[in-house]
Amino acid sequence: MPEKTTTPRDLSPVVERLNSEFTGVHDTATIARCVDAARQGALDVTGRATPELVERIARQHLQVLALAFAERR
């Protein structure tokens, strides 16, 4: 059974913005997992995870994933 990811409420707008930006590229579950991973990474490295920082990190990761998938086609 796939692992369910719950995004903190303050990051829900981040998921929504990235979901709009990456419609047709990544599904919502992938975006939510990426936001959660970006949040955890920011906390581990800097000790804080503002929505702005998390969004920038997640966007970069999603762009790299999109490029990697495009190259495989």
For residues 63, 28, 40, 72, the Cα torsion angle rounded to the nearest 10 degrees is: -40
The band of 8, judged by pLDDT with boundaries at 50, 70 and 90, is confident
What is d(CA 36, CA 51) in angstroms, rounded to the nearest whole number?
11
pLDDT at 5: 52
For residue range 15-56, list pLDDT tens digits in order. Answer: 999 999 999 999 999 999 999 999 999 999 999 999 999 999
- Asked if the model's pLDDT at residue 72 lies above 80, the reply is yes
